[in-house]
């Protein structure tokens, strides 16, 4: 049986908000070089769209970090599946994530990355679920959308590896 998906945020809403967030990042960083760390797999769509609108020199690297299995609920155990290819020592770093809910993954990741001595670390997310936050110390610098506690797919977010390619954000109706 196919899953039913209800549109939460249209493609146009997502595109418009990404441009607005890029403008904020451009204003904050000016022409200082910025190193984007894309959190795979979900963050790749957002990172690429965001990067297109950034005006400063941008470099990019990728990490795969997981606290989910095949289900819809975080296991609470964070694992680095793919680490960075390049050092971040002395760089202004912007972590780009698809969604932040409990904050466990990002709290762990930020501590790991701080140990690698970047000049600065900031956090940018497409979607934020603050009501689910367990790790209150996770500060999100740039948020496209705050959403309610629903399981969402599209624009890189998946349900059991499906629906990442949807150009909008939808809610899986079970």
pLDDT of 147 > 70? The answer is yes
Query: For the residues 136-150, what does the mean pLDDT come to?
Result: 92
In a domain? residue 5:
no
Taking the model in full, what pTM does it have?
0.91
CATH number for 23: 3.40.50.2020
Place of tokens 């070089």: 33
Rounded distance between C-alpha atoms, residue 174 and residue 165, angstroms: 20
Strands 92-100 and 34-40 turn out to be: parallel
Residue 34 lies in a domain: yes
Q: Which of 34-38, 95-99, 107-111 has the lowest mean pLDDT?
A: 107-111
Active site residue ranges: 101
Q: How confident is the model at residue 1 (pLDDT cuts 50, 70, 90)?
A: very low
The CA distance from 115 to 134, in Å, is: 22
**Is 6 inside any structural domain?**
no
Residue 130 is predicted with a pLDDT of 86
Q: Are 172 and 4 in contact (CB under 8 A)?
A: yes
ω into residue 45 within 30 of 0, thus cis?
Answer: no
Q: Is residue 45 part of a domain?
A: yes
Residue 81 buriedness (CB in 10 A; 0-12 / 13-18 / 19+):
exposed
pLDDT at 135: 74
Asked whether 108 and 66 are in contact (CB, 8 A), the reply is: no
Residue 66 lies in a domain: yes
The answer to whether residue 58 scores a pLDDT higher than 60 is: yes
pLDDT for 77: 75
**150 vs 3: which has the higher pLDDT:** 150
Which helix (H) or strand (E) segment holds residue 4: the answer is: strand 4-9
Q: What is the mean pLDDT of the chain?
A: 91
Three-state secondary-structure class, residue 123 = strand
Report which of 108, 113, 123 is spatially closest to residue 89, judged by C-alpha positions: 113
**16 lies in which domain range?**
12-149
Residue 118 in contact with residue 109, Cβ under 8 Å?
no
Domain count, the chain: 1
| pLDDT value of residue 116 | 98
Question: How much of the chain, in percent, has pLDDT values that exceed 90?
Answer: 76
Would you give the DSSP letter of residue 157?
B
Position 173 scores a pLDDT of: 84
Element (H, E) at 14: helix 11-29
- Asked if the model's pLDDT at residue 73 lies above 60, the reply is no
Band the pLDDT of 75: cuts 50, 70, 90: low
């Amino acid at each position: 049986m196919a899953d039913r998906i209800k549109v939460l945020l249209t493609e146009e809403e997502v595109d418009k908000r990404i441009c607005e967030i890029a403008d904020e990042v451009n204003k904050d960083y000016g022409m200082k070089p910025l190193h984007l760390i894309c959190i795979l797999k979900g963050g790749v769509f957002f990172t690429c769209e965001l990067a297109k609108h950034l005006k400063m020199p941008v470099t990019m690297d990728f990490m795969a970090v997981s606290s989910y299995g095949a289900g819809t609920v975080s296991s609470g155990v964070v694992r680095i599946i793919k680490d960075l290819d390049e050092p971040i020592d002395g760089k202004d770093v912007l972590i780009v994530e698809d969604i932040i809910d409990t904050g466990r993954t990002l709290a762990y990741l930020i501590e790991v990355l701080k140990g690698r001595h970047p000049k600065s670390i900031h956090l940018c997310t497409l979607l934020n679920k603050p009501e689910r936050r367990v790790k209150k110390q996770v500060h999100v610098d740039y948020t496209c959308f705050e959403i309610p506690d629903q399981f969402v797919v599209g624009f890189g977010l998946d349900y059991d590896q499906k629906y990442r390619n949807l150009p909008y954000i939808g809610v899986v109706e079970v």
